[in-house]
């Protein structure tokens, strides 16, 4: 990437969690990263819909932008409340006016559901659950894509004379396995499946303009909020007793996005609109998590048997599963 004209990325909801990790890895790769979100040092916005995290963490758009710059990129913080109509359009217009290009859009802004049982029946949750999960998490993702598409089309046009190895502009939606399999509740699954379909259907219309789309599935991730739940003693019940110590870091998803965004045009356009599992991309493209490990895909037997099947067998039989079985689980992916 040329230091004189770095690629430009916009990342929504990047003050914390998975998307903060994505923003930081884009910075490591040399991008100019615009970090969008509500959490700001300068605004007194009540954020009572965010999950608790450890004391002393500076999870703001400013701190994320500063870390992007420390890693070799150029971080730019734009505080904005994406729940408000017009905010994402205003931010993208400002960015494009300054940069005259938009290479990567990552959408994952999200609000925490209201204080009710996340796993309860949908008819008991009221519309508050739907609005929390799919207002910002889906409606504003669509708004961001709608506002960004013309700018990314213009960026693609400006690259028509470039080398065939030049990557195309990329819209990346952060989704989850809830789009394919029942997870938490009805509203959650519908929203994730809709994100996946959004990536797919946008790819049909954007293909002729040279703009790619993708939907990515992280696995179990050690976000700041999940780690705090573990400390508070609420993680086991909420997760079904999954082992968070074996989870992915947010950086792992970031490395996946960097790899996808660096693919030559022909290769990325061939997989445009697909759902991409972060762990499976790691195996395919040769990158690991920050500790050097390559986590198993959540749909792999290497993940499913130790986390779900073996504990149930041991509970029902009263006997441990032999180590020779545990140590030789094949990495076989279950079909969607």
Catalytic residues: 188
Distances from the Cα of 231 to the Cαs of 9, 20, 52, 53, 176, in angstroms? 34, 21, 11, 10, 24
Q: Which of 276, 275, 274, 280 is nearest to 297 (CA)?
A: 280
Cα torsion at 245, 20, 60, 108 (round to 10°)? Answer: -110
∠ at Cα 238 (237, 241), nearest 5°?
Answer: 55
User: What DSSP assignment string belongs to 58-109?
Assistant: --SHHHHHHHHHHTTSEEEEEE--TTSTTHHHHHHHHHHHHHS---EEEE--
Q: Is 316 helix (H, G, I), strand (E, B) or coil?
A: helix
271: burial class by Cβ within 10 Å (0-12, 13-18, 19+)?
middle
The residue ranges of DSSP E strands in the chain, in sequence order, are: 8-12, 32-37, 74-79, 104-107, 170-174, 212-217, 275-277
Tokens 């999200």 sit on residue: 110
Give CA angle at 192 (189, 195), nearest 5°: 150
CA angle 64, 69, 70 (to 5 degrees): 95
**What is residue 300's DSSP assignment?**
B
First-to-final CA distance of the chain: 36
């Amino acid at each position: 990437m040329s230091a004189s004209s770095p690629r430009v990325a916009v990342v929504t909801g990047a003050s914390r969690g998975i998307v903060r990790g994505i923003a930081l890895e884009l910075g490591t790769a040399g991008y100019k990263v615009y970090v969008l979100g509500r959490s700001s040092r300068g605004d007194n916005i009540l954020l009572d819909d965010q999950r608790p995290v450890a004391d002393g963490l500076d999870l703001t758009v400013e701190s994320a932008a500063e870390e992007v710059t420390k890693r070799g990129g150029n971080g730019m913080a734009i505080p904005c409340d994406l729940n408000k109509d017009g905010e994402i359009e205003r931010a993208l217009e400002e960015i494009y006016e300054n940069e005259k290009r938009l290479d990567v859009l990552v959408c994952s802004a999200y609000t925490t559901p209201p204080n009710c049982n996340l796993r309860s029946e949908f008819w008991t949750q009221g519309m508050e659950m739907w609005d929390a999960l799919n207002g910002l998490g889906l409606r504003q993702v669509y708004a961001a894509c709608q506002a960004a598409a013309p700018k990314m089309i213009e960026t693609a046009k400006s690259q028509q004379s470039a080398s065939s190895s030049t990557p195309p502009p990329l819209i990346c939606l952060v989704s989850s396995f809830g789009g394919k399999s029942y997870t938490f509740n009805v509203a959650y699954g519908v929203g994730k499946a809709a994100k996946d379909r959004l990536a797919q259907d946008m790819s049909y219309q954007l293909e002729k303009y040279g703009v790619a789309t993708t939907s990515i599935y992280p696995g179990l991730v050690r976000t700041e909020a999940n780690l705090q739940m573990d400390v508070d003693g609420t993680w086991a019940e909420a997760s079904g007793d999954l082992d968070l110590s074996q989870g992915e870091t947010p950086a792992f998803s970031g490395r996946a996005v960097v790899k996808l965004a660096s693919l030559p045009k022909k290769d990325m356009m061939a997989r445009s609109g697909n759902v991409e599992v972060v762990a499976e991309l790691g195996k395919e493209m040769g990158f690991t998590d920050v500790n050097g490990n390559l986590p198993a895909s959540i749909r792999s037997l290497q993940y499913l048997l130790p986390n779900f099947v073996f504990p149930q067998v041991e509970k029902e039989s009263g006997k441990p599963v032999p180590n020779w079985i545990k140590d030789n689980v094949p990495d076989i992916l279950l079909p969607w």
